[in-house]
Structure 1
Amino acid sequence: MGQYGIITAFDDETNSASFKPDSTPITLRMLLTHTSGNEYDWMNPLLMKWRASRNEMPWGGPTVEDKAAIPLAYVPGTSWAYGPGHDWAGKAIHLATGLTLEEFMRRHMWTPLGIENDTSFWPKTNPAMKGRLADLSTLNEKGEPPAVDDPTWDMLRGGTECLGGAGVFTSAQAYYTFLSAVFRRDPRLLKEESYTELFRPQLDSTAEQALNEYLALSPAHTQFLALGIPHTVRKTWCLAGLLCLDGQEGRFKKGTTFWAGVPSTVWFMDHEAGICGTALCQILPPMLPAVIKLHEEFQRGVLAMAGNK
């Protein structure tokens, strides 16, 4: 990562990119907060052109290096962009412990919670899971029904390594078991001080402003990353996900944490209201407005049931 430097421009006539050298050290905290300068290629027009100039597909190839060893989008630590930091963090765990991310998470997370038979990076080869895989469905680009099966979709895009940013398969029950354990600060997973750090805002004022501008950069950024939360709600990032510094009337309180997965799965932890929840859809394309609206209605309904307004 960073071997190419920072991509600064792309010349369509010569089909070549321009780069600026950079040797800023990238920390684990940068990777986990999307401040490392490593942006997903499919989110960045310059990186998409760079990939095409090399006859490569975005997010293609079997390894983390194939997928994410690409030019940086900015000087590490100076901005915010959604990227494969968690994939690199998973790779770092493998190198540091000698365990694959599957083995590490099974030992330290899934088995202590009793969800080891419902969770894996490799469900198609897992005897306990391979016969229980849910179908992925797709709507048209306008988000219109009917939903139809999409048997060609490959969540891993040819990946043969554990991808810390997108790759764990699990059941709805196991997913909520993990979510509620983190929300309750279950000591089987982390120490109390680690939970405090997990939910603490991590961005300085410059990176926080960059995050809020990034979420409003395009309809795609807003749809995929802002999760239907208005731009008027100020946001930052914690190690657990998107952290809302303001509340939204009737939906969530100040300090609520959100994040989501590509098949339109969304979770939230409303610490002030004392509730957490998730809804799983298995619908593509990701985060269509109509689907996000359903998630919002679910969140509002949960808050109302809990007796909060």
Structure 2
Amino acid sequence: MAQKIDKVYQDAVTSGLLPGVSVFAGDRDGNILYSKSLGKASLKEGREDLPFTASTISAIASMSKLMTSVAVLQCVEDGTLDLDADVKPLLPEIGKHGVITGFDDDKNSAILSPNTVGTTAITLRMLLSHTSGHEYDWFSPLLAKWRASRNEQPWTGPTVEHKSVLPLVFPPGTGFAYGAGHDWAGKAVEVATRMSLEEFMRARIWTPLGVEEDASFYPKTKEGMKHRMADLSTLNEKGEPPAVDANFDILFGGTDCLGGAGVFCSAQAYYTFLSAVLRRDPRLLTQESYTELFRPQLDEKCEQALNDYLVLDDAHAHLLGCRIPESIRKTWCFAGLVAKEGQEGRFAKGTTFWGGVPSCQWFIDHETGICGAAVCQILPPMHPGVIALHEELQRGVFGMVEGKYPRSL
């Protein structure tokens, strides 16, 4: 199995599809079942000799969301946050534009329902479940028009407020859309604790796990990290190799700690975190909080909205679908996307997935007792050919241990 996984990634590096990658997978007993680092960390002139290793610092983008969900639940345990309280007192700018229902092209003006948002409070539960009504403006044609009408660019600016004070695309709690809920949730952690999200995660997640020198929102300011940073690369307009240097700012000018997209860390550090979550390590959360982390959060209406959203078009399927067959029903938990059924030879029922823009991906298969993370730095986002490689990782590791663990937690 390991040799087959080796070949999949080695062929991708040889072909130029991937400049470099670092991969880890392990089991519930804490054993590392597979690890491999290949290729280069950069194609930038003058840095081409930098190898991609397990300690290479990479942008993990939306793989940050799982860390932020853990941070929020730590605050809930502390009594400083409440999953079901209105977040408006903590985040006064949130939802202030109301709900966008259309756009008048003749007037170059959005059609907004300013009072609709007042009927239902936005809660942390909604923010962590993508049911708050927020959608990324780069993902929504309506919000793109709203931005353009204000002479603004999507998802730019230094702060969460610059990027994410947007009209909602539906009243809170009534649908599903992928957006900046975790950025807002991270901001709530900061307000409630009077610490930056960097400080909080360092104290409560990274240091307890021994990865504090390998994770940060601000790696360029860290002497021990900045020289280990990978650079983003990109394939051509058709998504074909060979990759070239991208010269791309993944944060689009962001300087806040962006809980939904802003962590940089090594593959080994992320796997250490992921493995702790699989094993329900008490250094991070209580057992009750782990149950909440992985509990499906969507009611029937929102679950249907999620499944419709995932097949809305090719972009939604590629960016969000994790190559899970359309026939498998999905739901959402605070950790990520949940497959309600298994896929033969790949994962069991209830497996949780998510990824990040540079075609990174993680999975936790609770029933089979395994988890894994693949970290690379390649655009375009969630490239189907690269996500297919990560599927082969999942299949390979699943085959190593299928049947070893009882199918229950």
Which band: TM-score by shorter chain? over 0.9
Aligned partners of 2:270 and 2:403: how far apart in 1?
Answer: 25
Deviation at 1:77, TM superposition (A): 0.3
Percent of residue pairs bearing the same amino acid type: 69
Deviations 1:268-298 (A, max 9, x none): 0011111111111211011111111111111
Residue equivalent to 1:168: 263
Residue equivalent to 1:8: 101
Equivalent residue of 1:112, what SS? coil
Residue equivalent to 2:254: 159
Tell me, yes or no, if structure 1 residue 306 matches structure 2 residue 368.
no
CA-based RMSD of the aligned residues comes to: 1.1
Deviations 1:48-70 (A, max 9, x none): 01101111110011110110001
Deviation at 1:231, TM superposition (A): 1.0
Q: Identify which of 262, 275, 284 aligns with 1:180.
A: 275
Give 1:22-171 correspondences, 5 Å limit.
22=116, 23=118, 24-151=120-247, 153-171=248-266
Residue equivalent to 1:201: 296
Aligned partners of 1:78 and 1:255: how far apart in 2?
Answer: 24
Deviations 1:150-183 (A, max 9, x none): 12x1121101110000000001110100000010
Aligned partners of 1:115 and 1:41: how far apart in 2?
Answer: 33
Deviation at 1:127, TM superposition (A): 1.2
Deviation at 1:20, TM superposition (A): 1.0
What letter matches 1:2 in structure 2?
G
Asked whether the equivalents of residues 59 and 67 of structure 1 are also in contact (C-alpha less than 8 Å), the reply is: yes
TM-score (norm 1): 0.98
Aligned partners of 1:103 and 1:289: how far apart in 2?
Answer: 35
Aligned partners of 1:125 and 1:299: how far apart in 2?
Answer: 35
Equivalent residue of 2:198, what SS? helix
What letter matches 1:277 in structure 2?
G
Deviation at 1:141, TM superposition (A): 2.9
What letter matches 2:227 in structure 1?
G
Residue equivalent to 2:319: 224
Deviations 1:72-96 (A, max 9, x none): 0000001000010000001001110
Deviation at 1:135, TM superposition (A): 1.7
Deviations 1:105-141 (A, max 9, x none): 0000000000000000000011110110012111123
Asked whether the equivalents of residues 143 and 289 of structure 1 are also in contact (C-alpha less than 8 Å), the reply is: no
Equivalent residue of 1:170, what SS? strand
Tell me, yes or no, if structure 1 residue 296 matches structure 2 residue 360.
no
**Paired residues, number:** 308
What letter matches 2:214 in structure 1?
D
Deviation at 1:302, TM superposition (A): 1.0
Deviation at 1:7, TM superposition (A): 0.5
What letter matches 1:9 in structure 2?
G
Aligned partners of 1:239 and 1:9: how far apart in 2?
Answer: 30
Deviation at 1:14, TM superposition (A): 1.7
Equivalent residue of 2:376, what SS? coil
Equivalent residue of 2:269, what SS? helix
Aligned partners of 1:63 and 1:119: how far apart in 2?
Answer: 20
Gapped runs of 5+ residues in structure 2? 1-93, 405-409
Asked whether the equivalents of residues 26 and 76 of structure 1 are also in contact (C-alpha less than 8 Å), the reply is: yes
